[in-house]
């Protein structure tokens, strides 16, 4: 029963705008027909019915073709905000906000991939979704994952902000000092903010923006640019615009 209801809601969500428009148009034409003769009223009504049926049929065919030809992606990524913050260099809060748009009839969850290079498993949560099914893959070459379940289904072309939060313990200083993103589909912008409150007041070392192909066998990254450290906010900030697909991008700094 729940599946049927969700399917019904998805169809309503897809075609509601067309129905609202046609219903409004029908009301206006109905008001107009009150002032014309019966013969003309019938002709105009038939013409309107044919036009309405044609518009609805075209809309239905277009939407079905879009749904069939969407490819393998269940969503499109619009923008991402990444924040890495530590007050003492040992306790870290990592957060990601991601704006997505559904490209399937209905989505109920989002699989978030992450990899913490430290030795202690992070505490994972979300302020917007319900975080479940956390998988800790011991293979360092593979990503861990967490399932973020939506509070209500996300229907075709609807937007949702994904929130992922990890509280990290690096007291043994085993983690690597970088944040990275694997680009497997188009995204307009990734905004990085790296806050290092424990750095000394005279700290002035640039961070490195670099990348390498996802399937590259080489461990070397291609350097793209350097980012200056803002001593007033004790942070690095960078906007990565339209990164290329099939690359790993990362910002690396000195411990």
Token digits for 47?
């013409």
Between CA 120 and CA 32 the distance in angstroms is 72
Highest mean predicted confidence (pLDDT) among 20-29, 39-48, 52-61:
52-61
Mean pLDDT of all residues belonging to the chain: 83
Closest to 180 measured CA to CA, from 161, 194, 169: 194
Q: Can you state the angle between helices 2-33 and 38-68, rounded to 10 degrees?
A: 150
Between CA 54 and CA 48 the distance in angstroms is 10
What's the confidence (pLDDT) of residue 55? 75
What's the confidence (pLDDT) of residue 47? 74
Q: Is 28's pLDDT higher than 80?
A: no
pLDDT over 90, % of the chain: 53
What's the confidence (pLDDT) of residue 2? 46
Closest to 163 measured CA to CA, from 232, 95, 74: 95
pLDDT, tens only, 115-165: 888 888 899 999 999 998 887 766 766 788 899 999 999 998 899 999 999
Predicted structure pTM score: 0.73
Q: Is 42's pLDDT higher than 80?
A: no
Phi, psi (degrees; rounded to nearest 5) at 73: -75, 130
Cβ(164)–Cβ(96) below 8 Å:
yes
Residue with tokens 């530590």: 86
């Amino acid at each position: 029963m729940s599946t049927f209801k969700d399917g019904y809601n998805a169809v309503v969500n897809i075609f509601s705008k067309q129905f609202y428009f046609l219903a409004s148009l029908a009301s206006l034409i109905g008001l107009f027909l009150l002032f014309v003769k019966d013969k003309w009223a019938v002709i105009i009504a038939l013409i309107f019915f044919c036009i309405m049926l044609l518009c609805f049929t075209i809309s239905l065919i277009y939407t079905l073709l879009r749904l069939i030809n969407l490819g393998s992606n269940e969503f499109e990524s619009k923008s991402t905000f990444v924040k890495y913050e530590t007050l003492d260099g040992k306790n870290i809060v990592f957060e990601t906000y991601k704006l997505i748009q559904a490209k399937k009839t209905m989505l109920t969850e989002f699989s978030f991939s992450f990899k913490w290079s430290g030795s202690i498993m992070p505490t994972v949560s979300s302020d917007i979704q319900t975080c479940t099914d956390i998988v800790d893959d011991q293979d360092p070459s593979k990503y861990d994952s967490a399932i973020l379940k939506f509070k209500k289904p996300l229907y075709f072309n609807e937007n949702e902000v994904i929130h992922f939060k990890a509280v990290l313990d690096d007291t043994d200083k085993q983690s690597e000092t970088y944040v990275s993103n694997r680009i497997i589909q188009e995204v307009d912008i990734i905004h990085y903010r790296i806050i290092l409150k424990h750095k000394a007041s005279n700290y002035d070392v640039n961070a490195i923006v670099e990348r390498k192909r996802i399937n590259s066998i080489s461990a070397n990254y291609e350097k793209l640019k350097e980012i200056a450290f803002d001593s007033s906010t004790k942070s690095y900030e960078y906007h990565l615009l339209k990164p290329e697909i099939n690359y790993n991008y990362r910002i690396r700094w000195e411990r």
